[in-house]
């Protein structure tokens, strides 16, 4: 008996916009119960990949599958996938309640569910206000409410913290972790690395349209190249001890030694064994920001903004 397909699976996904190769043979899978972060510098291909995943852009090659089929072939897409990938065209004269109820009725969803999602995203008290008077952060919450109407198994969000104040960012962090704890699938792109480090469990990193890092966040951080900085009056002796121990190091300044691609757990015992006096020791390489830059260094940092016309006359932007 075969195993069921991953909720989200991308195989050899490729997209060209004219001469620009926006996505280049991307492979990954996303599983339930975790928040998966989708990171990359500007122009890495994140948004283009997500748009292919939900059927807004046609791949040049490869597949983007939801429950084993392309998004367009899902029997009930709204109840399978909730997505927020771009600003919605809310009618400014409508209230949030009116907007959600109209979307719900088209999809055969009850008004009661519209009220429920307004409460989930914290807009219950503003439900009768016209959307034209909403702040950017409130519009973000309304888009999320719309994505939640079908109580979807899968949630795909592109930069959901945009426009949110610190309180709103903390709220979206808690919401995403709660949603994943229900056994749901959460795939979220973000450029807020410090925030992502507090939110995501798994990580997919793109650079220049290719996957350059993939796996559980803690495992990737543990395997990242780190360095140890030591301030000591025994700099010359420490350099010799590290060299004998097979650890590359250099003197960054007077009395300051930097050991490369290592950790305090390796450097500390050597210093203790040889009775080297230490004034200060610090390490790097254990943050998401450092991991991100080590993975994406020299790849795709310039970005691009080529625009092409997609299927059905839609405008497609390589981002």
The residues spanned by each domain of the chain are: 8-222+292-317, 226-284
pLDDT score of 302: 36
The predicted model gives 97-111 an average pLDDT of 94
Higher pLDDT, 291 or 259: 259
HEC secondary structure over the chain = CCCCCCCEEEEEEEEEECCEEEEEEEEEEECCCCEEEEECCCCCCHHHHHHHHCCCCCCCEEEEEECCECHHHCCCHHHHEEEECCCCCCCCCCEHHHHHHHHHHHCCCCHHHHHHHHHHCCCHHHCCCEHHHCCHHHHHHHHHHHHHCCCCCEEEEECCCCCCCHHHHHHHHHHHHHHHHCCCEEEEECCCHHHHHHHCCEEEEEECCEEEEEEEHHHHHHHCCCEEEEECCCHHHHHHHHHHCCCCEEEEECCEEEEECCCHHHHHHHHHHCCCCCCEEEEECCCHHHHHHHHHCCCCCCCCCCEEECHHHCEEECC
The predicted model gives 281-310 an average pLDDT of 60
pLDDT score of 225: 62
Is domain 8-222+292-317 given the CATH code 3.40.50.460 in the classification? no
Are 8-222+292-317 and 226-284 the same fold in CATH?
Answer: no
Residue 2: pLDDT band with limits 50, 70, 90: low
The predicted model gives 112-116 an average pLDDT of 97
Res. 310: pLDDT tops 60: no
The predicted model gives 285-305 an average pLDDT of 62
Residues 139-161 pLDDT 10s: 999 999 999 999 999 999 998 88
pLDDT score of 293: 80
Residue 286: pLDDT band with limits 50, 70, 90: low
pLDDT score of 142: 94
Most confident of 55-59, 75-79, 292-296: 55-59
Res. 309: pLDDT tops 60: no
Architecture of the CATH domain 226-284 = 2-Layer Sandwich (3.30)
Residues 4-42 pLDDT 10s: 778 999 999 999 999 999 999 999 999 999 999 999 988
């Amino acid at each position: 008996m075969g195993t069921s397909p991953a909720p989200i699976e991308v195989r050899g996904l490729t997209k060209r916009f004219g001469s620009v190769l926006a996505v280049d043979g991307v492979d990954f899978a996303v599983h339930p119960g975790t928040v998966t972060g989708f990171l990359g510098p500007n122009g890495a291909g994140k948004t283009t990949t997500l748009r292919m995943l939900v059927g807004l852009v046609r791949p040049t090659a490869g597949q983007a599958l939801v429950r084993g089929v392309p998004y367009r072939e899902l029997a009930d897409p709204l109840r399978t996938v909730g997505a927020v990938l771009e600003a919605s065209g809310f009618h400014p004269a409508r209230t949030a309640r009116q907007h959600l109820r109209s979307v719900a009725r088209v999809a055969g969803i009850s008004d009661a569910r519209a009220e429920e999602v307004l409460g989930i995203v914290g807009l219950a008290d503003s439900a009768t206000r016209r959307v034209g008077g909403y702040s950017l952060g409130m519009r973000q919450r309304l888009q999320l409410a719309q994505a939640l109407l079908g109580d979807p198994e899968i949630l795909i969000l592109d930069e959901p913290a945009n426009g949110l104040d610190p309180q709103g960012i903390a709220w979206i962090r808690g919401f995403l972790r709660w949603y994943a704890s229900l056994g749901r699938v959460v795939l979220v792109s973000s450029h807020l690395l410090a925030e992502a480090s507090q939110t995501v469990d798994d990580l997919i990193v793109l650079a220049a349209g290719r996957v350059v890092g993939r796996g559980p966040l803690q495992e990737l951080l543990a395997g990242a190249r780190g360095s140890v900085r030591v301030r000591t009056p025994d700099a010359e002796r420490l350099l010799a001890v590290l060299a004998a121990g097979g650890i590359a190091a250099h003197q960054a300044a007077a009395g300051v030694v930097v050991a490369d691609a290592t950790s305090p757990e390796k450097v500390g015992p050597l210093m203790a064994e040889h009775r080297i006096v230490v004034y200060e020791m610090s390490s790097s390489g254990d943050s998401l920001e450092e991991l991100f830059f080590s993975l994406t260094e020299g790849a795709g940092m310039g970005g691009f903004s080529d625009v092409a016309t997609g299927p059905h006359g839609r405008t497609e932007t390589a981002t």
